Structure 1
Amino acid sequence: MFFSHAPSPPNRSFPALRAIGALILREMSASYGRSPGGYLWALLEPVGGIALLTLFFSLTFHAPPLGASFELFYATGLLPFMLFSEVQSKVANALTYSRALLAYPTVSFLDALIARLILNALTKLIVSYLVLQGCLLIFDSRASPDPLRIFEAASLAVLLSFGIGTLNCFLFLRIPVWQQIWSILMRPMFLISGVFFLTDHLPTWAADVLWFNPLVHVIGYLRHGFFPTYEPDHLSAPWVIGVSLVALAIGLLALGTRYRDLLAR
């Protein structure tokens, strides 16, 4: 008696890794290949810009709400905000950017999303490390960094960027005007995410409203990682994770069934 075995489904792990790697190299070449210094310029340009912003605001605000260095206080607020803002934007436009390559059966929409996430999140994390390390070396910050808490804050920032970026990727394709609406909504986010202040110093009603902003928690966790004496009782990692995963799930489900039709419009 002969037994026939059904062929096992093809393992997509290695093709997916090759596709993601190729997409990353393609974007690096397209985005940084023609600029002086290549990818190095992608790191130095934001480092210089953030350093100038930090110096400008440090001359305006001499007494930081936390710690002894306004430069470090401002950097711990600005860097996670910029990471979220720029990474989610890159992820949100990933399918439009890679529209031609998605015609190949070996490249999936998820490959395009992950490739953009890896490249841009890694770039912003390196920039953040350089700026924060510079603040610690140059200024008398009296900070005591906790690597574990800093890693927690960075992980939350990347996860939130991926979740919101994936959801926006679907919404930008399905409702094109949403891209303009989102751009308008992001403008006041810089002011209400705790970049310049601590929510602990706000009236209770204002702190309760801002609690629903996940970026407030991300920034709070990063500052807690640099200033151990800062122990806010309003931070909630489960809230950030929940918002991120719900947005990610909705975005992936919607894109998985409709992204080809949406790109063909």
Structure 2
Amino acid sequence: MAKQLPTSSGDRIPFSAEWFAELWQCLVVMGRVIFAVILRESRTRYGNSNIGYAWAIVDPLIILAVFIAVFSVLGRSSPVGSPITVFFVTGIVPLFFWRGAVGQGANAVSASLGLLTYPQVMPTDILIARIVLESATTILVFLIFLVGLYYIVDVSPSWFFGDPPGVILATAGLFYFTFGSMFLSSSLGRVLPIWKNLWGYLGRPIYLLSGIFFTLEQLPDGIRAYMAYNPVAHMVEWMRSAMIPTFDSSAYSILFPMTCATIALIIGMVIDRILLLTGDEEIVS
């Protein structure tokens, strides 16, 4: 059952004071629902101990250590003129955020069927709660990395804020791209029981082909032409170009990943609306 503005006093004139008051009331209820779902998701995902949060930090830290070790053995240095740790962190953190959110979206509704019995809770609320929780976890991981790199290997935080307005814009773009991908993943998970398993396999090659250990600009033209079809690689390149002072790539497109995110969001919303109109909040057994 979709959220509707209260109509106890009859239909309101759009954009009137009463209409805005009722809209605000609806948004307040939605905010409370999302906050409650966030609390539930945090307890479900991480439990009552700090071990779950610790793994959110340890997982990207292991990947970071492995890549640094491989580059060291091969005698390679950062291709962007920054410390090698900066190069990998600016690729690992955005990619982990996107991959984690899409994976969480795959089973967001099926794992919260009990909540959907309440008329105030909609599938969209669950998705918003999950991406907010994923964002908070990613920000925490990034801040820990900043502090750790500064005190352990003497890497200044300024390496991550080369263009502050650009960093804000790229971060907003990453959030929108991730939310669009997550919405589509959630909708596919509701109509295709196998989607969650498929994503587990698809995530691996995407992970390796999205620019964690290379940049689009350094690739040969022939390979870059194929890599240009990967919107995740464009997002990683955009983030690096905004964050690292010594790197200014011209090989990425802002329009392409934003267009992909919009298309994914529209498709996801259409599937979600069809399921609501047909009365099937969840059709996967």
Q: Same fold (TM over 0.5)?
A: yes
Structure 1 residues 225, 141: closer, same or farther in 2, change over 3 A?
Answer: farther
| CA displacement at 1:222 relative to structure 2 | 1.9
1:1-265 → structure 2 map (5 Å cutoff): 6-8=10-12, 10-11=22-23, 12-35=26-49, 37=50, 41-62=51-72, 63-139=77-153, 141=155, 143=159, 145-146=161-162, 147-259=164-276, 260-261=279-280, 263-264=282-283, 265=285
Structure 2 letter corresponding to 1:204: D
**Corresponding residue SS for 2:171:** helix
Aligned length: 257
Percent identical: 27
Moved more, 49-58 or 218-227: 49-58
Structure 1 residues 187, 51: closer, same or farther in 2, change over 3 A?
Answer: closer
Structure 1 residues 155, 43: closer, same or farther in 2, change over 3 A?
Answer: farther
- Hey, what's the Cα distance between the residues in 2 that align with 1:227 and 1:31? 33
Moved more, 135-144 or 210-219: 135-144
- Stretches of structure 1 that go unaligned for 5 or more consecutive residues are none
**Corresponding residue SS for 1:263:** coil
Moved more, 176-185 or 133-142: 133-142
- Hey, what's the Cα distance between the residues in 2 that align with 1:225 and 1:25? 33
**What are the superposed Cα offsets for residues 163-219 of structure 1, whole Å, 9 maximum, x if unpaired?**
111112111221222333332222111221110011212111211111121111211
| CA displacement at 1:139 relative to structure 2 | 3.1
- Hey, what's the Cα distance between the residues in 2 that align with 1:153 and 1:44? 27
- Hey, what's the Cα distance between the residues in 1 that align with 2:232 and 2:131? 18
- Hey, what's the Cα distance between the residues in 1 that align with 2:43 and 2:155? 38
- Hey, what's the Cα distance between the residues in 2 that align with 1:166 and 1:122? 18
Structure 1 residues 53, 171: closer, same or farther in 2, change over 3 A?
Answer: closer
Structure 2 letter corresponding to 1:59: A
Structure 1 residues 165, 154: closer, same or farther in 2, change over 3 A?
Answer: same
**What are the superposed Cα offsets for residues 53-91 of structure 1, whole Å, 9 maximum, x if unpaired?**
323332331312122421111111111111110011112
> Aligned-pair RMSD on alpha carbons?
2.2
8 Å contact from structure 2 (residues 171, 239) kept in 1: yes
Structure 2 letter corresponding to 1:107: V
Structure 1 residues 136, 218: closer, same or farther in 2, change over 3 A?
Answer: farther
- Hey, what's the Cα distance between the residues in 2 that align with 1:73 and 1:61? 11
**What are the superposed Cα offsets for residues 108-155 of structure 1, whole Å, 9 maximum, x if unpaired?**
121111111111122112212321443345435573623322223322
Structure 1 residues 92, 144: closer, same or farther in 2, change over 3 A?
Answer: closer
- Hey, what's the Cα distance between the residues in 1 that align with 2:198 and 2:69? 34
